Chains A and B, each alone.
Chain A
Amino acid sequence: MLFRPNVQVESFEAAALPHLTDLYRTASSLLRDRNEAEDLIQDTYLEAWKSFHRFELGTNCRAWLFKIMFHRLHHVRRRLVKASRVTTIDGPEGQDELAAEPVVPQEIRDEDVLNEFREIVLLADVEEFSYKEIAETLRIPVGTVMSRLSRGRKLLRQELAEVARSYGISPRTKQADAAETA
């Protein structure tokens, strides 16, 4: 659609802007960089605006915006991974250097895996989306959502436990709370 009257801008703002805080919260948690998060949100809203004519008013605008944001986020990450790929220069003798397979550094692959867990945990525990909504947002099966969520929560518990131990704090129990109260 080439021509959008003002009424459509207002309609878009009314439907989409109330979710700005939620989107920024997730974006900044995943990117951990304020500027990158802001860029992601800008891109998300711009893309949403361009395809707003396809959005059915009355349906879940928040889920639709998250879907767009994650699509953009994954696109940006894929580009970063592509850029970080290095070609093995010291290959076996006689091997064409240019034919060597590009290698993604291990730390980036580990980070990718962790990001997958982070995304699921944030969407489920902070944004409180249903499994079905998460599956649609991330374009993965519901079974994958469940398994990643379980694994992600476990990793988070372990991480928090380690942090607590490093501060000399034992994980809290009901007994400890009761004793404290007494």
Chain B
Amino acid sequence: MNTLSFDSKRCERIRQQLDSYLSNELLVETASEVVRHLESCEACSRDLESRMRVRDVLQRAVANRPMPESMRANILRTLRDSQRRSLSRVAVKRWALGFAAAAVVLFGVFAAEWLNLRHGEQLIASILKLGVSDHVICAIQGHNYPEVANPPDEIREKLGARYAPLLQVVQQRLPGFELLEGHICSIPGSDRKYVHFITRGHGTILSVILTERNGAALPRDKLLLSADSDGLGIYQDHLSGMEIAGFESGQYFTFVVSDLNQKELLQLARGLAPALNDTLHTTARLLPSNATTKWAKLG
């Protein structure tokens, strides 16, 4: 570096590249050219040295800024907290999703149950309506009963062997009611027939009606039951101004219909149901073969 080769234009060009040279960003050829020039040019070499010294000073100054000891711990704590929050958010979201799913399922269950109940209520009403209709048409509007009770033997004759045993049940199980009439009715324009007992008591007329189920059935849902009597479910409704209670007795529907109050009628139905059911079963055992024939003949 003893030879001074001062070429101002060349030096200017080299110095323009000194920043990139210092940052090691020059291509190999260009860097070699700079090195060769620096070896022969003291002024440019001093310039580079000055720049390097400034860089060293800067590096030392910045390196002297110590990091607080708590810094690392603080960062770790922040990360852990953030992780906990993120996990709890996940948990909350999962709970929320779980609740939403449960709500949907519950809503579905309740909706299905509600629809089921509505359907059950409609079915009960449609079956009980038969009993109300029979009572109103035959007893109330048709007045098909005498003012003085028909003799029991006459009624037994009308009912036939299959249904005659029910006479005693009706007489015994409806306290305060007098049996006026018992017969088998048919519905004009329909094949359906029904056994009809007409009684009087408590200042009103009360009918006990039996009609074949023909495969139909009352709903089994306990929520729709009005009462239970020895395992027989009793259903009740208020239709066309009448109170009616109905239950299944073997292959029959039995209805107790009157304009008594709901509680009184239900009480009478509960008292009647088990004995009526037992008698029907007994009769069915004794007269198994010609029962339907008898029913048809009497109709």
Q: What's the count of A-B pairs with C-beta under 8 Å?
A: 89
Known: A2-B89, A45-B75, A126-B62. A150 touches B19 (CB 8 A): yes
User: What chain A residues lie within 8 Å of B55 (beta carbons)?
Assistant: 125, 153
Chain B proximity of A150: nearest CB distance (Å): 5
Q: In the complex, A12→B86 CA distance in Å?
A: 16
Question: Which one of A56-64, A74-82, A94-102, A169-177 contacts B?
Answer: A169-177
Q: Which of B53, B74, B79 has the most CB of A within 10 A?
A: B79
Chain A proximity of B103: nearest CB distance (Å): 22
Contact assessment for A38 and B63 in the assembled complex, using a CB-CB cutoff below 8 Å: no
The answer to whether the Cβ of B72 comes within 8 Å of any Cβ in the partner chain is: yes
Main secondary structure of the interface of B (DSSP, over half): helix
Contact assessment for B86 and A2 in the assembled complex, using a CB-CB cutoff below 8 Å: yes
The answer to whether the Cβ of A104 comes within 8 Å of any Cβ in the partner chain is: no
User: What chain B residues lie within 8 Å of A157 (beta carbons)?
Assistant: 50-51, 54
Contact assessment for B19 and A146 in the assembled complex, using a CB-CB cutoff below 8 Å: yes
Chain A proximity of B226: nearest CB distance (Å): 54
Residue in chain B with minimal CB distance to A129? B23
Q: In the complex, A25→B23 CA distance in Å?
A: 20
Count, chain B residues at interface, CB 8 A: 35
Chain A proximity of B59: nearest CB distance (Å): 5
Q: Which of A1-25 contact B (CB under 8 A)?
A: 2-4, 9, 12-13, 17, 20-21, 24-25
The answer to whether the Cβ of B76 comes within 8 Å of any Cβ in the partner chain is: yes
Contact assessment for B51 and A13 in the assembled complex, using a CB-CB cutoff below 8 Å: no
User: What chain B residues lie within 8 Å of A17 (beta carbons)?
Assistant: 72, 75
Chain B proximity of A179: nearest CB distance (Å): 15
Contact with B along A132-166 (1 / 0, CB 8 A): 00000000000000100110010011001000000
Partner of A174, one of B49, B67, B75, B82: B49
Contact assessment for A24 and B67 in the assembled complex, using a CB-CB cutoff below 8 Å: yes
Main secondary structure of the interface of A (DSSP, over half): helix
The answer to whether the Cβ of B112 comes within 8 Å of any Cβ in the partner chain is: no
User: What chain A residues lie within 8 Å of B53 (beta carbons)?
Assistant: 172
The answer to whether the Cβ of A122 comes within 8 Å of any Cβ in the partner chain is: yes
Contact assessment for A45 and B78 in the assembled complex, using a CB-CB cutoff below 8 Å: yes
The answer to whether the Cβ of A29 comes within 8 Å of any Cβ in the partner chain is: yes
User: What chain B residues lie within 8 Å of A130 (beta carbons)?
Assistant: 23, 25
Q: In the complex, A31→B53 CA distance in Å?
A: 24
Partner of B54, one of A4, A49, A124, A160: A160
The answer to whether the Cβ of B58 comes within 8 Å of any Cβ in the partner chain is: yes
User: What chain B residues lie within 8 Å of A21 (beta carbons)?
Assistant: 67
Q: Which of A24, A34, A130 has the most CB of B within 10 A?
A: A24
Contact assessment for B79 and A174 in the assembled complex, using a CB-CB cutoff below 8 Å: no
Contact assessment for A122 and B62 in the assembled complex, using a CB-CB cutoff below 8 Å: yes
The answer to whether the Cβ of B20 comes within 8 Å of any Cβ in the partner chain is: yes
The answer to whether the Cβ of B90 comes within 8 Å of any Cβ in the partner chain is: yes
Q: Which of B69-93 contact A (CB under 8 A)?
A: 71-72, 74-76, 78-80, 82-83, 86-87, 89-90, 93
The answer to whether the Cβ of A42 comes within 8 Å of any Cβ in the partner chain is: yes
The answer to whether the Cβ of A73 comes within 8 Å of any Cβ in the partner chain is: no
Contact assessment for B71 and A24 in the assembled complex, using a CB-CB cutoff below 8 Å: yes
User: What chain A residues lie within 8 Å of B75 (beta carbons)?
Assistant: 17, 20, 41-42, 45
The answer to whether the Cβ of A86 comes within 8 Å of any Cβ in the partner chain is: no
Residue in chain B with minimal CB distance to A159? B54
Q: Which of B53, B63, B83 has the most CB of A within 10 A?
A: B83
| Shortest beta-carbon contacts, A-B, top 10 | A24-B67, A125-B55, A150-B19, A2-B90, A28-B65, A126-B62, A45-B75, A29-B62, A157-B54, A3-B90
**B contact residues vs A (CB 8 Å cutoff):** 19-20, 22-23, 25, 46, 49-51, 53-55, 57-59, 62-63, 65, 67-68, 71-72, 74-76, 78-80, 82-83, 86-87, 89-90, 93
Complex A-B: 26 CB contacts under 8 Å: A3-B86, A20-B67, A20-B71, A24-B67, A25-B67, A38-B71, A38-B74, A41-B71, A42-B78, A45-B78, A49-B82, A121-B58, A124-B23, A125-B23, A126-B59, A130-B23, A130-B25, A146-B19, A146-B20, A149-B19, A153-B19, A153-B55, A156-B54, A157-B50, A157-B54, A160-B57
**A contact residues vs B (CB 8 Å cutoff):** 2-4, 9, 12-13, 17, 20-21, 24-26, 28-29, 34, 38, 41-42, 45-46, 49-50, 121-122, 124-126, 130-131, 146, 149-150, 153, 156-157, 160, 171-174
